[in-house]
């Protein structure tokens, strides 16, 4: 959005609005500083929690009461670090309640089925179950296979083995490409909210709206200047989030899932397309929130108007997380939802030209509609004075 | 200083014309000698197409010569602010028009805004800009650049003695300091016409006195000043001519001496009450 295409007076007004916004502590904190510190802090906190829990697990020696299952007991001891096992003397509930055992493995007296008891309200009991349930399951399957082979000659090779051929970096890449659009859209709404309220209800609350209407500018220029300032703020927030996530998201996901901590190889050559979608979304959110804010008399009232709208805007973004959601000829027409899907496709380098073009067209039309409605509203005297300059005459007044 | 419109103009503007929302403004060409000329200004607020609406201002016509101080007096709700808002292009006249500093409020509202300095309790300044930044912003919008802009800003800061707080943000200034900054931005582009809507409202005694001095100085500098007030002593001291607005109508216009002769009263408060009561008695309150 080059300022060379704008009238000098409009440029001056836009710059003034941006300067005012950048001096608002809330906008700087939520729009610029938070994204820069949020992800590294999250990464740090996550790694600390992970290290702490891993350390706790390492130090912990779960106590497992096993009732007459020597083979399984041997298997349990193969786990590093091994648990402390002992024979079950009383009832399972009693052993768990008294804290003598974290896990109780016994056979049912009636049908002989294996029963693994744990206490979900106890942390050590939960950890013990999490660590040893796979061992128990593996033992069960092997025992079953062996028994079946003995009885029927069944060969274990019929047992299917599921293999994931993707590398860990690939799955991280897909996860990141799925999460990133949602986070970007949500953060873009946050980036647009405060500036939109500030330049609409904020102006009315401070009694500066009439001053603005007395500037030697047309009202359309005033509305345009405000729209540009809010869109710029929302877009900058989106870019800062993108930048911060680029740096921190790879290691973050690696922390959660394990694996390499490098930046996943997303199709960053699609970045211009991602930014283009981001700009259109910023315009849509900025203008919509300004429109809502322009009907409020105070900042607080505007927050009450804008928040439901903000949540509504997030809903299609959340739906992009559905595995079945893909960008096609139909979904490409649904604003915001299409942006999320197009973001994902672009980040994965899986661009369908027709669907992407439809998305761009749909978002542009939506942005244009929101923009025109908002400019019309902000050009109206009722925005500045709080009452309608309505005299029944439809006439251009600038 | 001419107080009257030429006869032909009076016929053209049709004093007491019917209120017709669809009527176009009358021609006002050829009257450039006036700094401000209001011709049949009428404002009706309607909620919808079928609503008859509230007539806030009805057929207000007056003219101010260059260098004149014109006071609009009236009780609360008389239509003073609405009239001044129409003159300063914040509101669009329903009928009639006005010419301010040579530009028509209907045809060239942007030019009107560039030619006036408007000051009221509702025109506060942007709190996150400093006084200097505010003046620079207004100066740039009025087309000043470089050394000319710097010179004007420095001159205004100097003239209003704002050196001490020129680089402080407006949100951190006292009411009096902020008012000085507001006067500064009004004067920065040296407008030929100043429109002041109850400029002393909300100010303390010192602030109000400074504002009165400011208007007096503007008169000396040859500016045309239109200001509304309900502080009659201010009007008595400053105004060359006074217009009494009541119930949206301009009931009387003239110099203080002319109004004295018309009402037979000595002091402005007596004159004012007499005219307002006279208007109410004649059914002027029927909006």
Residue B199 — very low, low, confident or very high, per pLDDT cuts 50/70/90? Answer: confident
Residues with Cβ < 8 Å from A275, sequence gap 6 or more? A239
Residues of chain A contacting residue B124, judged by C-beta atoms under 8 Å apart: 206-208, 211
Query: What backbone phi and psi angles, to 5 degrees, belong to A105?
Result: -120, 120
Task: List residues bridging with B100 in a β-sheet.
Answer: B36, B103
B121 neighbourhood in chain A, CB within 8 Å: 207
CATH topology of domain A60-158: D-Maltodextrin-Binding Protein; domain 2 (3.40.190)
B233 vs A398: which has the higher pLDDT: B233
Cβ–Cβ below 8 Å for B124 and A387 = no
pLDDT digits (tens, 9 = 90+) for B57-109: 999 999 999 889 999 998 888 899 999 999 999 888 989 999 999 899 998 99
Q: Where are the domains of chain A?
A: 3-49+168-385, 60-158
Q: Is B114 on the interface with A (CB under 8 A)?
A: yes
Q: Output the CA torsion sign for A243, A246, A251, A253.
A: positive
- Under 8 Å between Cβ of A360 and A345: no
Q: Does residue A81 have a cis peptide bond before it, meaning omega lies within 30 degrees of 0?
A: yes
What's the distance, Cα to Cα, between the start and end of chain B in Å?
Answer: 33
Could you state, in order of their start, the residue ranges of all structural domains in chain B? Answer: 7-281
Contact residues, chain A, for B46 at CB < 8 Å: 390-392
Where does the pLDDT of residue B3 fall: very low under 50, low under 70, confident under 90, or very high at 90 and above?
very low
Q: Where are the beta strands (DSSP E) in B81-210?
A: 95-100, 103-104, 116-120, 193-197
Does the CB of B21 have a partner CB in chain A at under 8 Å? yes
Q: What's the pLDDT tens digit per position in B147-177?
A: 999 999 999 998 888 999 999 999 999 888 8
- Rounded to the nearest integer, the mean pLDDT of chain B is 82
Tokens of B80: 């003073």
Q: Helix A353-378 crosses helix A271-294 at what angle (to 10 degrees)?
A: 30
The pLDDT of residue A369 is 94
* Residues belonging to chain B: 287
Chain B within 8 Å of A333 (Cβ-Cβ)? no
Class of residue A145 by CB neighbours under 10 A (exposed 0-12, middle 13-18, buried 19+): middle
Residue A213 forms contact with B (CB below 8 Å): yes
Residue A382: other Cβ atoms inside 10 A: 13
Mean pLDDT of B183-194: 91
HSE value, Cβ hemisphere, 13 Å, CA-based, for A276: 14
Kind of pairing between the strands at B54-65 and B241-246:
unpaired
Residue B19's pLDDT is what?
33
pLDDT at site A212 = 92
Residue B27, pLDDT score = 45
User: Does the structure show a pLDDT above 50 at B14?
Assistant: no
Taking CB atoms and an 8 Å limit, are B123 and A218 in contact across chains?
no
Subunit contact A211:B47, Cβ cutoff 8 A: no
Alpha-carbon distance of B88 to B71, in angstroms, equals 16
**Structure tokens, A112:** 């002989």
- Fold for B7-281, please state it: Rossmann fold (3.40.50)
Asked if the C-beta of B137 comes within 8 angstroms of chain A's C-beta atoms, the answer is yes
Q: What tens-digit pLDDT sequence spans chain A (398 residues)?
A: 445 567 889 999 999 999 999 999 888 888 888 878 887 787 778 777 777 777 776 667 888 888 888 888 888 888 777 888 888 888 888 888 888 888 898 888 777 788 899 988 888 888 888 888 888 888 888 888 888 888 877 666 666 677 766 665 566 677 778 888 888 899 899 899 999 999 999 998 888 988 998 999 988 899 999 999 999 999 999 998 888 887 777 676 666 665 555 555 666 778 888 899 999 999 999 999 999 999 998 899 999 999 999 999 999 999 988 878 888 888 999 999 999 999 888 888 888 889 999 999 999 999 999 999 998 888 887 777 766 555 544 444 45
**HSE of B171, CA atoms in CB hemisphere, 13 A:** 9
């Amino acid at each position: 959005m080059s300022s060379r295409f704008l009238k000098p007076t409009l440029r001056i007004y836009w710059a003034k609005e941006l300067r005012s916004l950048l001096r608002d502590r809330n906008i700087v904190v939520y729009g610029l500083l938070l994204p820069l510190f949020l992800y590294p802090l999250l990464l740090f906190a996550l790694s600390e929690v992970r290290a702490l829990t891993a350390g706790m697990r390492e130090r912990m020696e779960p106590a497992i009461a096993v009732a007459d299952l020597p083979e399984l007991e041997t298997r349990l001891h193969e786990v590093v670090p091994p648990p402390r096992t002992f024979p079950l003397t009383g009832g399972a509930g009693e052993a768990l309640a008294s804290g003598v055992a974290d896990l109780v493995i016994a056979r049912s007296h009636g049908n002989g089925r294996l029963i693994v008891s744990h206490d979900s309200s106890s942390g050590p009991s939960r950890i013990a179950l999490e660590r040893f349930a796979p061992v128990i399951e593996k033992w069960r399957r092997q025992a079953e296979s062996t028994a079946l082979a003995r009885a029927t000659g069944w060969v274990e090779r019929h047992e299917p083995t599921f293999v994931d051929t993707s590398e860990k970096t690939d799955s991280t890449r897909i996860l990141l490409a799925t999460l990133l659009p949602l986070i970007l859209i949500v953060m873009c709404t946050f980036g647009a909210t405060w500036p939109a309220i500030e330049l609409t209800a904020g102006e009315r609350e401070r009694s500066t709206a009439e001053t603005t209407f007395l500037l030697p500018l047309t009202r359309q220029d005033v509305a345009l200047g405000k729209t540009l300032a809010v869109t710029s703020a929302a877009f900058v927030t989106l870019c800062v989030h993108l930048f911060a996530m680029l740096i921190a998201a790879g290691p973050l996901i690696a922390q959660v899932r394990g694996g390499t901590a490098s930046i996943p190889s997303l199709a960053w050559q699609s970045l211009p397309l991602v930014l283009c979608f981001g700009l259109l979304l910023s315009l849509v959110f900025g203008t919509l929130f300004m429109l809502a804010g322009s009907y409020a008399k105070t900042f607080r009232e505007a927050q009450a108007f804008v928040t439901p709208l903000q949540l509504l805007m997030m809903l299609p973004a959340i739906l992009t997380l559905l595995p079945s959601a893909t960008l096609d000829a139909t979904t490409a027409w649904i604003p915001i939802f299409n942006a999320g899907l197009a973001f994902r496709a672009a980040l994965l380098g899986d661009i369908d030209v027709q669907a992407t073009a439809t998305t761009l067209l749909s978002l542009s039309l939506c942005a244009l509609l929101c923009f025109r409605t908002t400019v019309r509203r902000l050009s109206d005297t009722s925005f500045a004075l709080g009452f309608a300059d309505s005299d029944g005459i439809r006439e251009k007044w600038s | 200083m001419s107080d009257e419109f030429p006869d032909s103009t009076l016929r053209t503007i049709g004093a007491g014309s019917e209120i017709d929302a669809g009527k176009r403004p009358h021609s006002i060409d050829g009257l450039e000698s006036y700094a401000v000329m209001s011709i049949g200004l009428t404002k009706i607020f309607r909620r919808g197409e079928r609503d008859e609406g509230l007539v806030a201002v009805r057929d207000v016509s007056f003219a101010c010569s260059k260098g004149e101080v014109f006071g609009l007096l009236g009780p609360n709700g008389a239509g003073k602010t609405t009239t001044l808002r129409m003159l300063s292009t914040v509101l669009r006249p329903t009928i009639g028009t006005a010419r301010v500093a040579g530009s028509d409020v209907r045809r060239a509202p942007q030019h009107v805004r560039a030619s006036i300095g408007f000051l009221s309790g509702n025109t506060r300044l942007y709190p996150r800009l400093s006084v200097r930044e505010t003046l620079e912003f207004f100066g740039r919008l009025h087309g000043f650049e470089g050394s000319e802009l710097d010179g004007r800003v420095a001159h205004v800061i100097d003239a209003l003695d704002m050196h001490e707080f020129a680089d402080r943000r407006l949100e951190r200034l006292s009411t009096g300091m902020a008012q000085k900054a507001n006067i500064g931005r009004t004067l920065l582009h040296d407008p030929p016409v100043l429109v002041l809507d109850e400029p002393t409202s909300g100010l303390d005694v010192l602030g109000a006195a400074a504002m009165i001095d400011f208007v007096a100085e503007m008169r000396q500098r040859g500016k045309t000043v239109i200001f509304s007030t309900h502080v009659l002593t201010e009007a008595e001291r400053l105004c060359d001519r006074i217009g009494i607005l009541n119930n949206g109508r301009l009931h009387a216009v003239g110099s203080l001496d002319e109004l004295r002769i018309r009402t037979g009263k000595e002091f402005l408060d007596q004159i004012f009450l007499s005219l307002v009561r006279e208007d109410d008695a004649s059914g002027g309150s029927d909006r």
